Amino acid sequence: MALNLIVLGPPGAGKGTQAEQIARARGIPKISTGDILREAVHNGTEIGKRANAIMARGELVSDDVMIGIVRERLGQKDVQDGFILDGFPRTVTQAAALDEIVKGRDPMVVVEIVVPEPELVRRLSIRMVCESCGATAHGAAAKAGECPECGGKLVQRSDDNDAVVLERLKVYHDRTQPLVEYYQTRPTFRSVNGSQAADRVAADLVAAIESAGSGVAAKGVRS
């Protein structure tokens, strides 16, 4: 069965890192909305042109444009054995459209990484990013001040101060709670404790995916 996975979680939950590890282990693409948006603009697709015009005006990309971009990306050959979505869907409208896009494929597994707000604020306040390659560093790597990926200089993101972090978390919860409610009654929905050590979260995430997949296979459910 192909793994079609959505990873939900607030800023600082570690969903990007976890999704990257699973994608490498499974040999399937991790698809982030930021990446596919830039790719569509670069390739000059019709949807990409629309998105570029919207961003040039300083406006947010609308649901219909993001849905169109994801539809294009999920139509490519490299997702036939599965995919991991990071950053999409962000709204119930996008989630409903995604259901239509993947209809007939193996079911989507949806995992929410749950982390208490005080821990998220702590993590984000000490998070550093590389000026050169954009990699994120935490803990000892962040304290060293040198990117573990390319050796570049690490700096704090301008939106990782406490006040901005709290506002970002508020926006996330306001927008995402309806999305969690949309998915949580499905047999393929799982939650994992993201406040544990990264390797423990990774193990729980794999167990959650296997549990969801086994339950669906037993029932013969498809999207």
Render pLDDT for 55-77 as a digit per residue (tens, 0 to 9).
777 676 788 888 988 998 999 99
Q: Is 157 a catalytic residue?
A: yes
Q: Which residue in this structure is represented by tokens 């890192």?
A: 17
Confidence class for position 27, pLDDT limits 50, 70, 90: very high
- Secondary element (H or E) of residue 4: strand 3-8
Cβ–Cβ under 8 Å, residues 133 and 121: no
pLDDT at site 138: 65
pLDDT tens digits for 85-138?
988 998 899 999 999 999 999 999 999 999 998 898 888 877 778 888 877 776
pLDDT for the residue 171? 78
Q: Where are the domains of the chain?
A: 3-28+81-219
Residues 38, 71, 105, 168: which is the catalytic one?
168
Catalytic annotation, pick one of 49, 143, 153, 157: 157
Beta carbons of 129 and 157 less than 8 angstroms apart: yes
Please say if 90 is a catalytic residue: yes
15 as an active site residue: the answer is yes
Confidence of residue 186 (pLDDT cuts 50, 70, 90): very high
- Residue in 15, 50, 73, 123 annotated catalytic: 15
139 has a pLDDT exceeding 70: no
Query: Whole-angstrom Cα distance, residue 204 to residue 7?
Result: 13
**Domain covering 3-28+81-219 in this structure, CATH number:** 3.40.50.300
114: β partners: 193
Catalytic residue among 90, 105, 122, 186, which?
A: 90
